[in-house]
């Protein structure tokens, strides 16, 4: 896998400071062992703090990625990335409603996995993973972290329910996933969600809805029209080819968190409700020019 210029600078920095133990290799290796231990006992909920096995697995992966990123982003070569994440954290206060519509899981996914830098579109996660992979960290954990880093948000429709699961369909890509939803909101059939879906960690286990579901109140037809005009503009020959990039990186660095922030309309246990569209001024409750149709 090709490395970007930020990662190359980080690796040179690692080599300079490795003897000073700025990067704790023992902690990295311990994280790899934790990954192997948990993967071997996924079906035993008691060994996963009573979490659903899919939730436990991806929580472990996120924890390790966060731990590694904290060390890597402390290096001078990662200063640009670290400052951008800190500035966004200060502005959005991602603690979930009522403090902020940005939840912690949403912010982590965007700030570490989606917020891209430079011509190589490097992210905090991709740089971190390339660095730890070069240090010989457990290959299974590295692969799982790469999957998390490559994940993206998507527009999914609730199409049914299983035994404690929600069945989601991503219309543009045609994918259907049976998912566990740790936030606890099963959804109603027909609801449109803005969520990050992580794949099943093992045979017989459901996928995972990583963030608290953002339930979209604007009609599905309005979102279909938004995708049609936006994707055709990005790739007139094959609009659906542009969809993954749009959902991961948006049209600007803060495209999606700004939408979430301005579109916040309400919340309930396990769900956050958004109103409006990213490209329609005046449609978002906290955007410029919004007119509440119920205020008159």
Mean pLDDT computed over 50-65: 90
Q: What is the pLDDT of residue 162?
A: 97
Residue 105 and residue 194 share a domain: no
**Minimal CA–CA distance to 245: which of 236, 234, 237, 257?**
234
- Do 146 and 234 share a structural domain? no
Residue 25 has pLDDT above 60, yes or no: no
**pLDDT, position 11:** 77
**pLDDT band with cut points at 50, 70 and 90 for residue 46:** very low
Same domain, 141 and 174: no
For 231, phi and psi rounded to 5 degrees?
A: -70, -35
Same domain? 46 vs 129: yes
144-166: average pLDDT: 97
Of 104-108, 137-141, 210-214, 235-239, give the lowest mean pLDDT range.
137-141
Q: What is the mean pLDDT of the chain?
A: 88
pTM for this one? 0.88
As for how many domains the chain has, the answer is 2
Between 296 and 179, residue with greater pLDDT: 179
Residues 263 and 143 in one domain: no
Q: Which of these three, 150, 183, 206, is where a domain ends?
A: 150
* pLDDT given at position 134: 84
Q: How far apart are CA 247 and CA 245, in angstroms?
A: 5
Residue 110 has pLDDT above 60, yes or no: yes
Same domain, 89 and 224: no
- Burial string for 142-179 (b: 16+ CB within 10 Å, else e) reads bebbbebbebbbbbbbbbeeeeebbbbebbbeeeebbb
Q: What is the DSSP string of the chain?
A: -PPPHHHHHHHHHHHHHGGGTSS-HHHHHHHHHHHHHHHHTTT-GGGGTT--HHHHHHHHHHHHHHHHHHHHTTSGGGHHHHHHHHHHHHHH--S-TTT-SS-HHHHHIIIIII--BTTTTB-HHHHHHHHHHHTT--HHHHHHHHHHHH--EEEEEEEEE-SS-EEEEETTTTEEEEEE-TT-----TT-EEEEEEEPPSSTT--EEE-S--EEE-S-HHHHHHHHHHHHHHH-SS-GGGGHHHHHHH-SSTTHHHHHHHHHEEEEETTEEEE-S-TT-TT-STTSTT---TT--
Residue 107 pLDDT greater than 80, yes or no: yes
Q: What is the pLDDT of residues 240-280, one digit of tens each?
A: 899 999 999 999 999 999 999 999 999 999 999 999 999 99
The pLDDT value recorded for residue 37 is: 56
Confidence of residue 43 (pLDDT cuts 50, 70, 90): very low
Query: Length of the chain in residues, anyone?
Result: 296
Q: How crowded is residue 136: how many other Cβ atoms within 10 Å of its Cβ?
A: 12
Binning pLDDT at 50, 70 and 90, where does residue 29 land? low
My answer on whether 90 and 42 are in the same domain is yes
Q: Read off the pLDDT of residues 65-95 as tens digits, 9 standing for 90 and up.
A: 998 999 889 888 899 999 999 999 999 999 9
Domain end point (choices 115, 150, 185): 150
Q: What pLDDT does 151 receive? A: 98
Please tell me whether residues 138 and 165 are part of one structural domain.
no
Is 285 a member of any domain?
Answer: no
- pLDDT number for residue 6: 83
Query: Could you report the per-residue pLDDT of 160-186, keeping only the tens digit for each?
Result: 999 999 999 999 999 999 999 999 999
Q: Is residue 279 part of a domain?
A: no
pLDDT band for 42, please (50, 70, 90 cuts).
very low
Q: What range does the domain containing 39 cover?
A: 5-150
Domain boundary among 89, 123, 150: 150
């Amino acid at each position: 896998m090709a490395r970007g210029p930020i990662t190359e600078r980080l690796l040179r920095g690692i080599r300079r400071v490795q003897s000073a133990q700025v990067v704790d290799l023992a902690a990295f290796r311990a994280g790899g062992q934790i990954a192997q231990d948990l993967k071997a006992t996924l079906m035993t909920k008691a060994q996963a703090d009573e979490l659903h096995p899919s939730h436990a697995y991806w929580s472990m992966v996120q924890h390790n990625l966060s731990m590694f990123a904290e060390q890597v982003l402390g290096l001078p070569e990662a200063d640009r990335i670290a400052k951008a994440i800190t500035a966004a954290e200060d502005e959005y206060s991602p603690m979930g409603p009522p403090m902020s519509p940005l939840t912690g899981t949403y912010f982590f996914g965007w700030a570490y996995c989606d917020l891209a830098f430079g011509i190589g579109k490097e992210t905090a996660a991709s740089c971190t993973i390339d660095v730890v992979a070069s240090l010989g960290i457990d290959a299974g954990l590295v692969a799982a972290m790469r999957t998390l880093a490559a994940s993206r948000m998507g527009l999914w429709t609730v199409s049914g329910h299983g035994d404690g699961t929600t069945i989601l369909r991503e219309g543009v890509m045609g994918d259907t996933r049976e998912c566990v939803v740790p936030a606890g909101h099963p959804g109603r059939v027909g609801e449109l969600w803005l969520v990050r879906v992580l794949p099943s960690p093992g045979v017989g286990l459901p996928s995972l809805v990583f963030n608290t579901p953002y339930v979209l109140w604007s009609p599905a037809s309005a979102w279909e029209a938004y995708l049609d005009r936006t994707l055709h503009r990005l790739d007139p020959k094959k609009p659906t080819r542009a969809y993954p990039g749009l959902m991961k990186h948006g049209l600007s660095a803060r495209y999606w968190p700004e939408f979430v922030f301005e579109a916040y309309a309400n919340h309930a246990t396990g769900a956050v409700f958004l109103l409006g569209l990213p490209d329609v001024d005046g449609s978002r409750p906290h955007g410029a020019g919004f007119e509440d149709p119920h205020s008159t």
